[in-house]
C-alpha cells in the first residue's frame, strides 16, 4: 500500500473542494477532518470520500456552502439547520458554539439538523477537548442495522464519541464507536479494494452471514453486543435525528444515495470540567485511572480509548498509507475536476 505525504494529500483535497465552490474556511475544516482520519488510523473516513462529495455537490444533493441557520436557542442550548451542507463544517461550528455556552453555563448542547456524515466523531469530540471540555458527540445515519428480531435495516450505525482532556504526558481519552460490529466505512473500503470482510460483521439481503462486502452493503450490519447495540442505535436516532427534527426512523440517506440529501442530524454536548472540580484534582484522577487500567495487564498491553489513534503516526514521518484503489479514484477525480493530480514521492 503506497505511502502519500500528508502535505500532498491536503493540497489535493483543498484544491478539489475550492474548485467546487466550498468557501476557503470551510474547505480548510474539511481537510483538517481528512487529515485527522488518516493520522489516527481511520483512513476509511478520509480522502477516499472526496469523489462522493464532488458527485453530490455537482448533482445538487449536497451544498458546497453550509449556512447554519438558527431555529431555536436558550442560554445552554441551540438548534441549527445545516442546509444540507457539509457535516464536518456543521459539527465543528456547532461544537464551537456548545463550548462557548459551556464556558458560561457549565454545559452547552447544540443540535444540528439536515446535515451529512461528518467523518470521524473523534474529530468533533477532539475540538471540545482542546478547550479543556468533556464532549459527547452523537449522529444518526442511513439504515444499516436491522432491529433485533427483524431482518430489514432501519437504524444507522449511528456513530458516537465521548472525549475527555488529559494531563500532560497522556493522550486525551476519546472513545469513538459505531453501534455496529464495524464501521460501515470499513465495509465500503473493503468493497473498493476487493477485500473480504470478517464473518460476524454483516448479513446479506437474505439475512445470512457474509464475508462479501458488496453483499453486506446490500444487506445489514450486525449491531455490537446484539440487542444492546440495537438499543444504542435507537437512542442515538432519537437524540440526533428525531430531537433535531432531522430524518429518523430509517429515513436518513447515506452519502451514496442518489435520491436526495442525507438529512441526518447531530447532537453535540460540551461540559466545562472546571465548573465541576479543580483542575489539579481532575488531572490526578485521570492519572490514577490510567495507571489502574494499565496495571491490569502486561506492560504495553492495555490502552485507553483513543490512545492508539493518538500514537498512530509514530515512526511514519509525515506519510500515510492509501490503497491503490483509493489513489486510482483520486486520480480519476483530478481529471474530472481539472486539478493537479495527487503527488507521489
Chain-wide mean pLDDT for the chain? 95
φ, ψ at 79 (rounded to 5°): -125, 125
What pLDDT score was predicted for residue 192? 85
- pLDDT tens track for 297-314: 999 999 999 999 999 999
Q: Quick one: pLDDT band at residue 139, thresholds 50, 70, 90?
A: very high
What pLDDT score was predicted for residue 179? 94
**Closest to 328 (Cα-Cα) out of 44, 51, 36, 16:** 51
Domain coordinates in residue numbering, the chain: 1-59+313-345, 66-180+223-310
- pLDDT tens track for 18-38: 999 999 999 999 999 999 999
The residue with cell 504495553 is: 300
Q: Quick one: pLDDT band at residue 189, thresholds 50, 70, 90?
A: confident
Average pLDDT over residues 336-342: 97
User: Can you give the length of the chain in residues?
Assistant: 345
φ, ψ at 281 (rounded to 5°): -65, -40
Instruction: Extract long-range pairs of 229-232: CB within 8 Å, 24+ residues apart.
Output: 229/145, 229/179, 229/180, 229/181, 230/145, 230/147, 230/148, 230/155, 230/179, 232/158, 232/160, 232/179
User: Whole-angstrom Cα distance, residue 13 to residue 81?
Assistant: 26
Q: Which CATH number applies to 1-59+313-345?
A: 1.10.1530.10
Distances (CA, A) of 301 to 41, 98, 219, 304, 310: 18, 36, 36, 10, 16
Q: Which CATH number applies to 66-180+223-310?
A: 3.30.1370.60
Contact present, 332 and 342 (Cβ < 8 Å): no
Calculate the CA dihedral of residues 53, 54, 56, 59 and round it to 10 degrees: 170
User: Whole-angstrom Cα distance, residue 127 to residue 114?
Assistant: 21
- pLDDT tens track for 96-123: 999 999 999 999 999 999 999 999 999 9
Q: Quick one: pLDDT band at residue 161, thresholds 50, 70, 90?
A: very high
- Report the SS3 class of residue 135: strand
The residue that leads in pLDDT, 216 or 9, is 9
Contact present, 77 and 109 (Cβ < 8 Å): yes
Give Cβ neighbours of residue 116 (< 8 Å, ≥ 6 apart): 56, 62, 82, 84, 85, 86, 87, 255, 261, 262, 264
User: Whole-angstrom Cα distance, residue 50 to residue 73?
Assistant: 33
- Would you give the DSSP letter of residue 293? H
In 140-263, where do the E strands start and end? Answer: 160-164, 173-177, 202-203, 209-210, 220-221
Helix count and strand count (H, E) for the chain = 11, 12
Amino acid at each position: 500500500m503506497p505511502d502519500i505525504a500528508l502535505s500532498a494529500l491536503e493540497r489535493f483535497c483543498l484544491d478539489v473542494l475550492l474548485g467546487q465552490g466550498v468557501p476557503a474556511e470551510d474547505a480548510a475544516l474539511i481537510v483538517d477532518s481528512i487529515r485527522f482520519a488518516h493520522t489516527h488510523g481511520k483512513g476509511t473516513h478520509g480522502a477516499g470520500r472526496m469523489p462522493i462529495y464532488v458527485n453530490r455537490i455537482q448533482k445538487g444533493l449536497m451544498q458546497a456552502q453550509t449556512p447554519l441557520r438558527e431555529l431555536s436557542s436558550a442560554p445552554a442550548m441551540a438548534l441549527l439547520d445545516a442546509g444540507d451542507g457539509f457535516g464536518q463544517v456543521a459539527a465543528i461550528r456547532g461544537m464551537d458554539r456548545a463550548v462557548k455556552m459551556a464556558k458560561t453555563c457549565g454545559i452547552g448542547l447544540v443540535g444540528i439538523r439536515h446535515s451529512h456524515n461528518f467523518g470521524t466523531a473523534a474529530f468533533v469530540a477532539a475540538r471540545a477537548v482542546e478547550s479543556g471540555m468533556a464532549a459527547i458527540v452523537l449522529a444518526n445515519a442511513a439504515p444499516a442495522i436491522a432491529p433485533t428480531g427483524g431482518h430489514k435495516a432501519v437504524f444507522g450505525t449511528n456513530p458516537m464519541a465521548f472525549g475527555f482532556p488529559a494531563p500532560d504526558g497522556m493522550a486525551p481519552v476519546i472513545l469513538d464507536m459505531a453501534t455496529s460490529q464495524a464501521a460501515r466505512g470499513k465495509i465500503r473500503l473493503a468493497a473498493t479494494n476487493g477485500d473480504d470482510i470478517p464473518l460476524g460483521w454483516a448479513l446479506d439481503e437474505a439475512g445470512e452471514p457474509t464475508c462479501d462486502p458488496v453483499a453486506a452493503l446490500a444487506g445489514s450490519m450486525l449491531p455490537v453486543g446484539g440487542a444492546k447495540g440495537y438499543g444504542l442505535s435507537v437512542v442515538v436516532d432519537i437524540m440526533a435525528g428525531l430531537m433535531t427534527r432531522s430524518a429518523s426512523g430509517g429515513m436518513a440517506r447515506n452519502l451514496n444515495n442518489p435520491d436526495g440529501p442525507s438529512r441526518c442530524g447531530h447532537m453535540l454536548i460540551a461540559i466545562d470540567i472546571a465548573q465541576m472540580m479543580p483542575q489539579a484534582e481532575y488531572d490526578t484522577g485521570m492519572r490514577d485511572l490510567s495507571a489502574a487500567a494499565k496495571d491490569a495487564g502486561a506492560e504495553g498491553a492495555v490502552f485507553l480509548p483513543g490512545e492508539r489513534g493518538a500514537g498512530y503516526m509514530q515512526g511514519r514521518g509525515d506519510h500515510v498509507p492509501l490503497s491503490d484503489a483509493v489513489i486510482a479514484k483520486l486520480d480519476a477525480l483530478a481529471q474530472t475536476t481539472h486539478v493537479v493530480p495527487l503527488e507521489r514521492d
